Amino acid sequence: MNYKSGFVALCVLLCVFPLSAAVTVRGGLTYEHTLAPGQTAEGVFELFNTDAEAQEVKLYQTDYFFYADGRVLYSDPGLLERSNARWISLTPPTVVIPPRESVKVRYTVQMPQDNTLEGSYWSMIMVEGVAHDSPESTQGGEGMIGLGVRQVFRYGIQVITNVGNTGAPKIRFASSRLVKGENARDLVLDLENTGTRWIRAAVTAELYDSSGSSVGKFEADPLRLYPGTSGRFKIDLSSVPNRTYKAFILVDGGGSELFGANITLVIE
């Protein structure tokens, strides 16, 4: 199994993302399709070249998995149990973008006719810049170099396929601890999605003092958790006075997707 680590995938927070000094990806980095077995969907994303010279990128697929401890795995497409990479058709493998123009890249998702499928499946389409002097370049650049160090820029576009309204997320509270820094104090929660459908987990902690009065509600940045993956959520408690609290932890995935836990915090 071929795993590639150390690449940080970005979720959709903006509508334009830098690929290199010259190329941007428009339209977001996450695409979601909800289908019934046997159905087909099409998707499109746009690559824009801001430079005065033509720019080339290559497109390829990988599986994608991550853990709360920071490990991110990119395996060959179709290896993971919940990979949809083999359902996706993507052409062409390389794209040359004319100066200051954009190119639309289209893909097709064909869900298999398999009634045992349930929940969410996902993978990544990688968009990677190709230098003019690279052996991979189709532009026939002059002065090709045989040896050297070349910096590569790439981004991952996440493609999610849900099987109708089947499946559901389920949250396991793996661990909780207080972490003190020089100027900060965080409640760190490791959560795992043990269910079969992805969830956008918004996590809050409401603290209560010994009298039962609420002293405030504090929140972490939300994260997307696919089935089997885990994430680390940090809640800043630097402003909370030193004492013992009861904390109610709420994971809100929207709608009826609510998960809770009670913990005791000793802040000193």
Closest among 120, 115, 40, 113 to 81, alpha carbons compared? 120
Closest among 62, 83, 30, 41 to 200, alpha carbons compared? 30
**CATH class of the 171-267 domain in this structure:** mainly beta
Domains 3-163 and 171-267 fall in the same CATH topology: yes
Yes or no: say if 231 and 191 are a contact pair by the CB < 8 Å rule.
yes
Cα 181 to Cα 69, 87, 155, 185, 187, distances in angstroms: 18, 46, 32, 6, 11
Beta-carbon contacts of residue 33 (< 8 Å; ≥ 6 apart): 41, 43, 109, 159, 160, 161, 162
Q: How far apart are CA 190 and CA 114, in angstroms?
A: 34
Q: Half-sphere exposure (CA, 13 Å, Cβ side) for 95?
A: 26
The radius of gyration of the chain from alpha carbons, rounded to an integer in Å, stands at 22
Confidence of residue 183 (pLDDT cuts 50, 70, 90): confident
50-87 residue pLDDT tens: 889 999 999 999 999 999 999 999 999 999 999 999 99
Q: How far apart are CA 57 and CA 129, in angstroms?
A: 4
200-223 residue pLDDT tens: 999 999 999 999 999 999 999 999
Q: Looking at the predicted structure, is the pLDDT value of residue 11 above 50? A: no
- What is 3-163's CATH number? 2.60.40.10
**Cα dihedral across residues 80, 155, 3, 225: positive or negative:** negative
Count of all residues that appear for the chain in the document: 268
What's the whole-model pTM score? 0.87
Q: Where are the domains of the chain?
A: 3-163, 171-267
Q: How far apart are CA 210 and CA 187, in angstroms?
A: 19
Structure-block tokens of residue 91: 């052409």
Q: Looking at the predicted structure, is the pLDDT value of residue 112 above 90? A: yes
15-47 residue pLDDT tens: 344 555 588 889 889 999 999 999 999 999 999
- At residue 6, the pLDDT reads 39
Beta pairing, strands 154-163 & 30-35? parallel
- At residue 181, the pLDDT reads 86
Q: Is the peptide bond prior to 99 cis by the omega test (within 30 degrees of 0)?
A: no
Alpha helices in 120-184 (DSSP H): none
